[in-house]
Amino acid sequence: MGGDKFFANDIERVNRPELWTRATLTITTLLLGILGLSGCNALAAAANPDPPQLMTDHADFIWGFTNIGTICAITNDPPNGSGTLKVSNGGGGNLQISNITVSNITDFPATTSCPIPGNLASGDSCQIHAQFSPKSSGFRNGKITIVTNATTVDIPLSGCANDVNFNCGLLGGQTACGH
């Protein structure tokens, strides 16, 4: 008889959907605990097991030296020297791009095919094209900042500009524009 009563209680649980959520949540919590996840991180991991991942094909762009008012090809982007940065989603889910900015846009003009704001699906990519066209002499610096739901990345930009008062070639360590 004791077995019959236990069986009857189990049937009652099956017929009461409000108990299902509690049981599912308890099982999910136990499984996440086994995986070493807890709190909001556990819920985020359970909701999106393969999150988006921002990937770029360059860590920085370095231009050689050039004269003020000219456009310089990039020295660390063989073979074309175009200053093209590939941005891609190497994870799952949508990579939400909320903003892309270029500091010192005067010396480093840039364009992009990336959706701003917009999404890159898993495996999709877009490009940012940057140039070095200095307006004043000396070492020039800037950065491309990409803000997404996965992370924020800064890509440093640098080059050196010659004029009659400043000769980058005398400083050593850099190569002439396009060489």
User: 172-176 long-range CB contacts below 8 Å, 24 or more apart?
Assistant: 174/62, 174/64, 174/65, 175/64, 175/65, 175/75, 176/64, 176/65, 176/66
The span from the CA of 122 to the CA of 51, in Å, is 9
Q: What is the pTM of this model?
A: 0.66
Give ∠ CA 111-90-38 in degrees, rounded to 5.
125
Class of domain 54-171 (CATH, top level)? mainly beta
For residue 55, CA distances in Å to 11, 62, 93, 142, 156 come to: 52, 19, 14, 20, 15
Report residue 130 as tokens. 């940057």
Per-residue pLDDT of the chain (179 residues; tens, 9 = 90+): 444 444 444 445 455 555 444 444 445 455 555 555 555 555 555 555 689 999 999 888 887 778 888 877 665 554 445 678 999 999 999 999 999 999 999 999 999 999 999 999 999 999 998 888 888 888 899 999 999 999 999 999 988 888 766 666 655 544 555 43
Is the link from the previous residue into 17 a cis peptide, with omega within 30 of 0? no
Is-contact 89 52, C-beta < 8 A? yes
| DSSP single-letter state for residue 90 | -
Domain ranges in the chain are 2-47, 54-171
